[in-house]
Amino acid sequence: MTTHAITPQQVLEFERDGYLIVRGLFDVEEAGILRAAARADQAFQEHAHGIEDGQGGKAHLALWNKAGEDLWGAVARCERVVNAMERLLGDEVYHYHSKMSIKEPRTGGAWAWHQDYGYWYQNGCLFPDMGSAFIAVDPNTRANGCLQVLKGSHKMGRIDHGRFGEQTGADPERVAAAVQGMELAYVELAPGDTLFFHSNTLHRSDQNKSEQPRWSLICCYNTRHNNPYKESHHPCYEPLEKLSDNAIREMGAKAFGERTDFWNPAADETTGAGKK
C-alpha cells in the first residue's frame, strides 16, 4: 500500500510555488486499475463534452459533483489525497467536484491560460482557499500536452477571466506579463503521479500531437471555512467521509477479478476493457 504524509518542507514548497508534485502517490498497480477502469467506463464516452481550442483541436471533459461509492469517488475520498489537500490548504476540505480530462491522440485540444478560482469565484466562494489534485492516468508528457504552470503565480491573486478566442481564460495582457517574469514548468507525470495545485495558480496545456492518449483525473476541493455564500452548480460544504487507501485495490478487485497485469501500461489495450 502506498502512503504519503505531506512534510512541512512540502507545505513550504506549495506555499512558495503554488503547486506540489508527489511522485508515485498511486503505485503502478493502482495506476493500472485507474487506466483500465477509465477505458472501460462508458460514462466517459457518453458524457464527456468537447471543448474547441480555436486551433483545430478539441479536448474532452467529463465532470461530476458527487464523490460517490464507485472507484472515482474512492479516489476523491481516499486518505492520501484528502489528508494531503487538508495539510496544504490548512483546513478541513470537502469535495467540490471531479473531472476526467481527455486528450485523444493527434486531435486532443489545448487549454488556454487560466486560474480555477477565476471560475470558482463566480460560484460564491469568497476566498481562493481551494485546490485540485491532478492525477495522471496516462503518462503526461510534453508531446501529448502535459500541464504547464507558472511558479508562484498564485501570489498574483485572482486575474480577470473572460471570453478570449474559443475558450474562457485569464486576461491575456496580464498573463503575458506574468510569463515574462515567472518560471514556466512543464508538469510531466508518470501514471499515478499527482500534482496538487492552488486555485490561483496559472496553468495551461498544449494540443496532443502524439500517438498516445492523455487522460488525467482531477479531484477538486474547497475548504470548510470557504463555504459558498450562494448556491451554484457545484456543492456547498458537507463533511467528506474519508476512505482507507486500500479502497482503490478493493474496487479494482471487484471490477477486474484476479487480473494481475496492471503493471503493464498497454494491458488495457489488449483486454476486454478496450481502447477509447
The structural domains of the chain, with segments of one domain joined by +, span 8-263
Beta bridge partners, 100, equal 62, 217
Q: Determine contact, residues 97/199, Cβ cutoff 8 Å.
A: no
Q: How far apart are the first and last CA of the chain?
A: 29
Question: Can you state the percent helix, strand and coil of the chain, rounding each to 5?
Answer: 30, 30, 40
Better-scored residue on pLDDT, 253 or 3:
253
pLDDT band at 270 (very low <50, low <70, confident <90, very high): very low
Supply the pLDDT for residue 47. Answer: 87
Per-residue cell: 244? 482507507
> How many Å separate Cα 172 from the centre of its chain?
23
Supply the pLDDT for residue 216. Answer: 98
Supply the pLDDT for residue 264. Answer: 52
Helix (H, G, I), strand (E, B) or coil at 17: helix
Q: Determine contact, residues 200/153, Cβ cutoff 8 Å.
A: yes
Q: Considering the chain, what percentage of its residues have pLDDT values greater than 70?
A: 91
Is the model's pLDDT at 202 over the cut of 80? yes
Q: 49 CB contacts (<8 Å, ≥6 apart)? A: 60, 61, 62
Supply the pLDDT for residue 53. Answer: 85
Q: Considering the chain, what percentage of its residues have pLDDT values greater than 90?
A: 80
Supply the pLDDT for residue 255. Answer: 82
Neighbours of 47 (CB within 10 A): 14
Rounded to whole angstroms, how far apart are CA atoms 122 and 177?
Answer: 24
In the block, cell 477509447 appears at: 276
The CATH-assigned architecture of domain 8-263 is: Sandwich (2.60)
Better-scored residue on pLDDT, 228 or 264:
228
Compute and round to an integer the Cα radius of gyration of the chain. 18
Question: pLDDT tens across 85-124, in order?
Answer: 999 999 999 999 999 999 999 999 999 999 999 999 999 9
Rounded to whole angstroms, how far apart are CA atoms 127 and 247?
Answer: 32
Question: pLDDT tens across 152-175, in order?
Answer: 999 999 999 988 666 789 999 999
Supply the pLDDT for residue 268. Answer: 42
Mean pLDDT of 125-136: 98
Supply the pLDDT for residue 266. Answer: 47
Q: Taking all residues of the chain, what is their mean pLDDT, rounded to a whole number?
A: 91
Neighbours of 173 (CB within 10 A): 10
Rounded to whole angstroms, how far apart are CA atoms 204 and 93?
Answer: 25
Considering only 45-49, 138-142, 185-189, 206-210, which range has the smallest mean pLDDT?
Answer: 45-49
Supply the pLDDT for residue 219. Answer: 98
Question: pLDDT tens across 207-263, in order?
Answer: 999 999 999 999 999 999 999 999 999 999 999 999 999 999 999 888 887 665 654
Supply the pLDDT for residue 52. Answer: 87
pLDDT band at 1 (very low <50, low <70, confident <90, very high): very low
Helix (H, G, I), strand (E, B) or coil at 157: coil
